[in-house]
Amino acid sequence: MEDCIFCKIVNKEIPSEIIYEDDKVMAFKDVNPQSPVHVLVIPKEHIESSNDIDDNNSQLIGHIFVTIKELAKELGIDEDGYRIVNNCGSFGGQTVYHIHFHLLGGRKFSWPPG
Ligand code: AMP
């Protein structure tokens, strides 16, 4: 997708602090961190939002969650706990329409979300 900022990060057309990458997914630091650890985990393939998850990409989405679990351990937040967030659509607060999962940790979070 030409205008997608996260596709540009995947293609290394714009810089980012990449902390993990394989042939299917990429994880990089959020430019506006909301907690001591704030990483975005995305598929390299352009998928707009959770509304576009289906049987064809469910394995890829599952791989993202395995990656998140491994990153949480590597980043030392697995034992205290962490939050995985996906914002979908305007009411969900999505601002970048390339599906992504926020991995947030390093502090205690409250509930309910704002
Ligand atoms: P969301 O509101 O769930 O769509 O989240 C989008 C996230 O992308 C926000 O937390 C932004 O801070 C983050 N973001 C936007 N542009 C960049 C960028 N170039 N590099 C890293 N994170 C970004």
Q: How far is the CA of 40 from the centre of ligand 1 (A)?
A: 8
> Quick count: other Cβ atoms within 10 Å of Cβ 88?
16
Annotated catalytic sites, by residue? 100
**Residue 113 placed within a domain:** no
What are the helix (H) ranges across 32-104? 58-74, 89-92
Tell me how far CA of residue 7 lies from CA of 24, 48, 51, in angstroms.
13, 11, 18
Tell how strand 82-85 and strand 25-29 pair up: unpaired
Question: pLDDT for 75-95, tens place per residue?
Answer: 999 999 999 999 999 999 999
Residue ranges lining ligand 1, Cβ < 6 Å: 5, 16, 28, 30-32, 40, 87, 93-96
**Residue 112 placed within a domain:** no
pTM (2 d.p.): 0.98
> Quick count: other Cβ atoms within 10 Å of Cβ 4?
15
For residue 2, name the pLDDT band (cuts at 50, 70, 90): confident
**How many structural domains compose the chain?**
1
CATH of the domain at 21: 3.30.428.10
Degrees (nearest 5) of the Cα angle 39, 70, 76? 70
Closest ligand 1 atom, CA of 87? 3
